[in-house]
């Protein structure tokens, strides 16, 4: 496929101008928060509106998709259930990563939920989606992944670059992250690949969406690319239902509008303008997209009927294939102060486990909340026979507790995440409220290969903690057993715990599993959508987000989710343009 056509077009010229303007006005990308005239509160929306594209969810994929589609001559509407990321310091400042996850208010940008597996988790509710609340690590999918999915490699590369021009930065590597990186190299996670966005075996510094000042840039920043005359974004606009109709003479139901509610609970309607090329695109994320399909009548028939939902298409695969990569962690209290870092370095091992580290604040947010309370256990020497802390270290350990209260934790974490995973589960409606998280089951470690990867990953984590390079950031008299026992005493999930004495790494993986928030599936390609992301069995509806994945791309997914929004947007424009041209010919 060749996209040179758009360069010749008016919109291409416009885009180049936007590029030029962006470069000119934000020389190091760290420009002030953009002021979008087209982003409004849904309370200001008319009761009935008509657009060419209706995008449900202004998230990590939704924003780049909308910005791209606004250059096709068509009008674009984005409906996002959350607010703006530009006004909340919990979001814009790297030091507040834990705060946003600790915000449990009904309007929190990170809506908490617990999966049926008993693992704490979070779901974005804000313009920018997950990219507005996440740990910011930015890294591309492997060439192997891109080939396997069947994407056009050249277009993928261009789409990544388009994203990176606005939101990706090289992190300033400081002492803790350097020691962690050197530890990975020392234990043989080689070669040293330096700084790169590419997915390569060995140890690398990846990108981040935090700039040098520690300010977050999100997928919402990609709306800078949008044609402001063609796009409207409504905030606090929660979509309740996609509407379908039967066109006489066609067999398939066609999506033609949506019902959404504003912050006052007032109902509005948005319809597609009459044109067979117009579409509704669901970008509500791996939980929101299958949930909204079900609420709109596309899903397992028996399940929908239990909830009194009229079945449009009996599609038993909606909500299937839900997967969440298990994360297992060691928390390592540090005798030295540490910098605030979220993920910057990753070890990509040959056995398909990724090793990442973070320091200075609680990446593992339930720890921040509860560590202070439980720390007494940690200090109880009799609980940890081999772990004897001399009084002077004890005083420093108490400082660590105080630091937790201060949100800057004098400790680091080293985590391992397995690829895939092979284990999958499913999603079921809890009720008819789209803002409530449905029941989600991920079945962590159901497949033995996942457990094997975790054990190997934990072995590597332990080797890094024990490495010479890392030694200054751990207490010498705190052996690995004490760190393991510490994890077992912390309420990091809501699962049964086994005896702390001499626990196997296998049991450790199972008992202390957490989410790294890379959950995906529910509307997978080939099962719920086709290769162009069109929903099977209906017309004028696509799903474009993490729910379409079988496995997480790269070590962390957000780069590829943003890329996907851009990529599919370009393909849709191409389709629209080609059909327009062929109409002219006829
Ligand atoms: C705490 C956390 C840390 C993470 N750390 C990293 C990291 O460091 N690096 C990385 O690469 N990835 C990370 N991730 C994962 C990454 O952010 C997600 O995989 C990605 O953002 C998912 O994108 P998405 O477009 O599929 O969904 P989302 O970005 O979640 O977008 C879905 C959007 O749809 C909206 N929505 C849902 N339902 C409705 C509805 N009914 N009506 C209107 N709007 C609706 C939501 O509010 C949301 O804005 C992290 C995720 C979290 C939560
Ligand atoms: C930031 O997070 C804290 C919870 O840690 C919450 O109390 C506060 O209201 C949040 N601030 C904003 C502006 O949302
Ligand atoms: C410390 O250990 C002793 C002996 O095992 C136990 O009785 C006590 O409850 C522990 N204290 C705390 C705070 O857990
Ligand atoms: C928080 O940190 C500041 C400065 O580092 C320190 O002065 C203060 O005592 C700390 N507060 C707590 C509760 O530890």
The pLDDT tens digits for 49-79 are 999 999 999 999 999 999 999 999 999 999 9
Residue-range definition of the domain harbouring residue 147? 45-168+217-322+518-577
Across 99-103, average pLDDT: 83
- Do 132 and 90 lie in one domain? The reply is yes
**Alpha carbon distance 550, 526 (integer Å):** 10
Indicate if ligand 4 lies below 6 Å from the C-beta of 402.
yes
- Do 410 and 543 lie in one domain? The reply is no
Cβ atoms of residues 475 and 466 within 8 Å: no
- Do 551 and 568 lie in one domain? The reply is yes
Of 98 and 508, the one with more pLDDT = 508
- In this prediction, residue 99 has a pLDDT band, given cuts at 50, 70 and 90, of confident
By mean pLDDT, which of 28-37, 244-253, 520-529, 570-579 is the weakest?
A: 28-37
**Alpha carbon distance 431, 421 (integer Å):** 28
Q: Which of 512, 536, 566 is the last residue in one of the domains?
A: 512
Across 508-531, average pLDDT: 97
- Do 390 and 534 lie in one domain? The reply is no
Establish whether 165 is an annotated binding residue: no
**Which among 85, 62, 142 has a CA at the least distance from the CA of 561?**
62
Work out the burial of residue 216: count CB atoms within 10 Å of its CB; fewer than 13 is exposed, 13-18 middle, 19 or more buried: buried
**Which among 537, 539, 538, 530 has a CA at the least distance from the CA of 568?**
530
Which whole-number Å values give the CA distances from 384 to 98, 300, 488, 507, 518, in the listed order? 29, 51, 12, 18, 34
- Do 283 and 358 lie in one domain? The reply is no
Is the pLDDT reported for residue 6 higher than 60? no
**Which among 407, 413, 400, 390 has a CA at the least distance from the CA of 464?**
413
- In this prediction, residue 491 has a pLDDT band, given cuts at 50, 70 and 90, of confident
Q: Which of 478, 512, 546 is the last residue in one of the domains?
A: 512
Per-residue model confidence (pLDDT) at position 253: 97
- Do 137 and 223 lie in one domain? The reply is yes
272 Cβ partners below 8 Å, 6+ apart? 50, 51, 52, 53, 54, 255, 256, 257, 278, 279, 280, 540
Three-class DSSP category at 261: strand
Of 359 and 272, the one with more pLDDT = 272
Residue 34 domain-assigned (yes or no)? no
- In this prediction, residue 172 has a pLDDT band, given cuts at 50, 70 and 90, of very high
By mean pLDDT, which of 7-16, 60-69, 174-183, 436-445 is the weakest?
A: 7-16
Residue 440 domain-assigned (yes or no)? no
How do beta strands 411-418 and 353-359 pair? Answer: antiparallel
CA 414 to the chain's CA centroid: 20
Residue 30 domain-assigned (yes or no)? no
- Three-point CA angle 473, 479, 484, nearest 5°: 95
- Three-point CA angle 152, 153, 154, nearest 5°: 95
Cβ atoms of residues 112 and 122 within 8 Å: yes
Across 557-568, average pLDDT: 98
Nearest protein Cα to ligand 4, atom 12: 402
CA of 405, closest atom in ligand 4: 13
Per-residue model confidence (pLDDT) at position 485: 81
Nearest protein Cα to ligand 2, atom 7: 103
Per-residue model confidence (pLDDT) at position 475: 86
Establish whether 557 is an annotated binding residue: yes
Mean residue pLDDT of the chain comes to 88
Ligand 1 centroid–CA 126 distance in Å is 9
Which whole-number Å values give the CA distances from 173 to 58, 192, 232, 529, in the listed order? 32, 15, 39, 41
Is the pLDDT reported for residue 531 higher than 90? yes
Q: Is 551 left (phi over 0), alpha (psi -120 to 50) or beta?
A: beta
Residue 7 domain-assigned (yes or no)? no
- Do 396 and 507 lie in one domain? The reply is yes
**Alpha carbon distance 563, 61 (integer Å):** 8
pLDDT tens-digit readout, 379-432: 433 333 333 444 455 455 555 544 444 445 678 899 999 999 999 999 999 999
**Which among 483, 499, 196, 254 has a CA at the least distance from the CA of 367?**
483
The count of other CB atoms within 10 Å of the CB of residue 365 is: 21
- In this prediction, residue 96 has a pLDDT band, given cuts at 50, 70 and 90, of confident
Per-residue model confidence (pLDDT) at position 404: 47
Percentage with pLDDT > 90 across the chain? 73
**Alpha carbon distance 146, 343 (integer Å):** 23
By mean pLDDT, which of 211-225, 228-242, 482-496, 551-565 is the weakest?
A: 482-496
Q: State yes or no: cis peptide before 421, omega within 30 of 0.
A: yes
Per-residue model confidence (pLDDT) at position 14: 45
Per-residue model confidence (pLDDT) at position 423: 98
Across 121-141, average pLDDT: 97
Q: Which of 512, 532, 559 is the last residue in one of the domains?
A: 512
Ligand 3 centroid–CA 501 distance in Å is 15
- In this prediction, residue 247 has a pLDDT band, given cuts at 50, 70 and 90, of confident
Residue 35 domain-assigned (yes or no)? no
- In this prediction, residue 12 has a pLDDT band, given cuts at 50, 70 and 90, of very low
Percentage with pLDDT > 70 across the chain? 84
By mean pLDDT, which of 23-37, 57-71, 300-314, 364-378 is the weakest?
A: 364-378
**Alpha carbon distance 530, 524 (integer Å):** 9
85 Cβ partners below 8 Å, 6+ apart? 91, 92, 109, 126, 127, 128, 132, 216, 218, 220
**Alpha carbon distance 127, 133 (integer Å):** 10
Nearest protein Cα to ligand 1, atom 4: 134
Across 206-234, average pLDDT: 97
Indicate if ligand 2 lies below 6 Å from the C-beta of 88.
yes
CA of 99, closest atom in ligand 2: 5
Per-residue model confidence (pLDDT) at position 396: 55
Per-residue model confidence (pLDDT) at position 529: 98
Indicate if ligand 3 lies below 6 Å from the C-beta of 379.
no
Kindly list the catalytic residues. 518
Three-class DSSP category at 296: coil
Nearest protein Cα to ligand 3, atom 14: 377
Per-residue model confidence (pLDDT) at position 24: 36
- In this prediction, residue 501 has a pLDDT band, given cuts at 50, 70 and 90, of low
Pocket test for ligand 2, best of 99, 133, 408 (most atoms within 8 A of CB): 99
Of 368 and 565, the one with more pLDDT = 565
Of 13 and 539, the one with more pLDDT = 539
Establish whether 507 is an annotated binding residue: no
Is the pLDDT reported for residue 286 higher than 70? yes
- In this prediction, residue 499 has a pLDDT band, given cuts at 50, 70 and 90, of low
Indicate if ligand 2 lies below 6 Å from the C-beta of 155.
no
Q: State yes or no: cis peptide before 533, omega within 30 of 0.
A: no
Per-residue model confidence (pLDDT) at position 369: 54
Of 123 and 586, the one with more pLDDT = 123
Pocket of ligand 1 (CB under 6 A): 56-62, 79-82, 101, 122, 124-126, 129-131, 133-137, 238-239, 283-286, 288, 292, 343, 434, 517-518, 545-546, 556-558, 561
- Do 231 and 144 lie in one domain? The reply is yes
**Alpha carbon distance 547, 432 (integer Å):** 20
Establish whether 128 is an annotated binding residue: no
**Alpha carbon distance 235, 109 (integer Å):** 12
By mean pLDDT, which of 30-39, 77-86, 398-407, 426-435 is the weakest?
A: 398-407
- What angle separates helix 365-379 from helix 391-405, to the nearest 10 degrees? 150
How do beta strands 137-138 and 192-195 pair? Answer: unpaired
Across 535-540, average pLDDT: 97
Please give the tally of structural domains in the chain.
2
Residue 300 domain-assigned (yes or no)? yes
Per-residue model confidence (pLDDT) at position 426: 98
Across 549-569, average pLDDT: 98
Indicate if ligand 3 lies below 6 Å from the C-beta of 377.
yes
Work out the burial of residue 417: count CB atoms within 10 Å of its CB; fewer than 13 is exposed, 13-18 middle, 19 or more buried: buried
**Which among 216, 192, 187 has a CA at the least distance from the CA of 202?**
192
412: CATH: 3.30.410.40
Per-residue model confidence (pLDDT) at position 174: 93
- Do 297 and 331 lie in one domain? The reply is no
Residue 539 domain-assigned (yes or no)? yes
By mean pLDDT, which of 285-299, 403-417, 450-464 is the weakest?
A: 403-417
- Do 126 and 197 lie in one domain? The reply is no
Could you say which ligand is closest to the alpha carbon of residue 399? Answer: 4
Q: Count of residues for the chain? A: 586
Could you say which ligand is closest to the alpha carbon of residue 96? Answer: 2
89: CATH: 3.50.50.60
Cβ atoms of residues 284 and 545 within 8 Å: yes
- Do 130 and 61 lie in one domain? The reply is yes
Indicate if ligand 4 lies below 6 Å from the C-beta of 405.
yes
**Alpha carbon distance 65, 512 (integer Å):** 37
Ligand 3 centroid–CA 248 distance in Å is 74
Cut 0.85: pTM above it:
yes
Across 556-583, average pLDDT: 90
Residue 431 domain-assigned (yes or no)? no
- In this prediction, residue 581 has a pLDDT band, given cuts at 50, 70 and 90, of low
- Do 313 and 250 lie in one domain? The reply is yes
Per-residue model confidence (pLDDT) at position 500: 63
Is the pLDDT reported for residue 21 higher than 50? no
**Alpha carbon distance 516, 171 (integer Å):** 20
Per-residue model confidence (pLDDT) at position 90: 87
**Which among 411, 381, 410, 407 has a CA at the least distance from the CA of 394?**
381
Per-residue model confidence (pLDDT) at position 106: 92
208 DSSP β-pair partners: 137, 169
Establish whether 151 is an annotated binding residue: no
């Amino acid at each position: 496929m060749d996209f040179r056509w758009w360069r010749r077009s008016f919109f291409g010229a416009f885009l180049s101008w936007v590029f030029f303007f962006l470069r000119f006005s934000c020389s190091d990308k760290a420009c002030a928060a953009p002021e979008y005239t087209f982003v409004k509160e849904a309370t200001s929306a008319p009761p009935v509106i008509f657009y060419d594209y209706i995008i449900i969810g202004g998230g990590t994929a939704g924003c780049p998709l909308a910005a791209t589609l606004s250059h096709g001559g068509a009008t674009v509407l984005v409906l996002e259930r959350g607010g703006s990321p530009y006004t909340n310091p919990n979001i814009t400042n790297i030091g507040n990563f834990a705060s946003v996850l600790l915000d449990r208010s009904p309007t929190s940008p990170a809506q908490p939920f617990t999966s049926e597996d008993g693992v704490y988790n979070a779901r974005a509710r804000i313009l920018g989606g997950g990219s507005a609340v996440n740990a910011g690590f930015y890294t591309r999918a492997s060439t192997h992944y891109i080939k396997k999915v069947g994407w056009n490699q050249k277009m993928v590369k261009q789409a990544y670059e388009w994203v990176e021009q606005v939101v990706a930065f090289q992190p300033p590597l400081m002492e803790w992250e350097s020691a962690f990186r050197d530890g990975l190299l020392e234990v043989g996670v080689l070669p040293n690949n330096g700084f790169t966005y590419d997915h390569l075996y060995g140890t690398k510094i990846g990108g981040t969406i935090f700039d040098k000042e520690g300010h977050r840039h999100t997928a919402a920043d990609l709306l800078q690319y949008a044609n402001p005359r063609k796009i409207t974004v409504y905030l606090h606009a929660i979509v309740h239902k996609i509407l379908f109709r039967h066109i006489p003479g066609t067999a398939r139901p066609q999506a033609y509008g949506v019902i959404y509610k504003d912050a006052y609970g007032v109902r509005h309607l948005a319809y597609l303008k009459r044109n067979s090329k117009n579409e509704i695109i669901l970008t509500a994320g791996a939980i929101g997209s299958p949930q909204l399909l079900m609420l709109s009548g596309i899903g397992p028939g028996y399940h929908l009927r239990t909830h009194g939902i009229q079945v449009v298409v009996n599609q038993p695969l909606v909500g299937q294939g839900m997967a969440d990569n298990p994360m297992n962690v060691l928390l390592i209290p540090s005798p030295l102060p540490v910098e605030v870092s979220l993920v910057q370095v990753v070890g990509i091992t040959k056995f398909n486990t990724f090793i990442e580290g973070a320091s200075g604040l609680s990446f593992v947010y339930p720890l921040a909340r509860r560590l202070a309370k439980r720390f007494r256990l940690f200090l109880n020497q009799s609980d940890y026979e081999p772990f004897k802390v001399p009084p002077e270290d004890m005083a420093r350990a108490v400082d660590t507790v105080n630091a937790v209260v201060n949100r800057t934790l004098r400790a680091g974490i080293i985590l391992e995440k397995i690829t895939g995973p092979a284990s999958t589960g499913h999603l079921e409606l809890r009720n008819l409220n789209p803002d409530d998280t449905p029941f989600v089951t991920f079945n962590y470690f159901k497949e033995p290969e996942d457990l094997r990867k975790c054990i190997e990953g934990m072995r590597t984590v332990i080797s890094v903690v024990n490495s010479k390079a890392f030694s200054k950031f751990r207490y010498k008299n705190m052996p690995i057993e004490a760190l393991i026992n510490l994890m077992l005493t912390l309420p990091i999930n809501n699962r049964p715990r086994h005896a702390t004495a001499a626990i196997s790494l296998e049991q450790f993986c199972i008992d202390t599993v957490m989410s790294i928030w890379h959950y995906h599936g529910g509307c997978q390609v080939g099962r719920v959508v086709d290769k162009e992301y069109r929903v099977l069995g209906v017309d004028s509806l696509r799903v474009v987000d993490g729910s379409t994945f079988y496995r997480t791309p790269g070590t962390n997914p957000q780069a590829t989710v943003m890329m996907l929004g851009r990529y599919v947007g370009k393909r849709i424009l191409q389709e629209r343009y080609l059909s327009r041209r062929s109409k002219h010919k006829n």
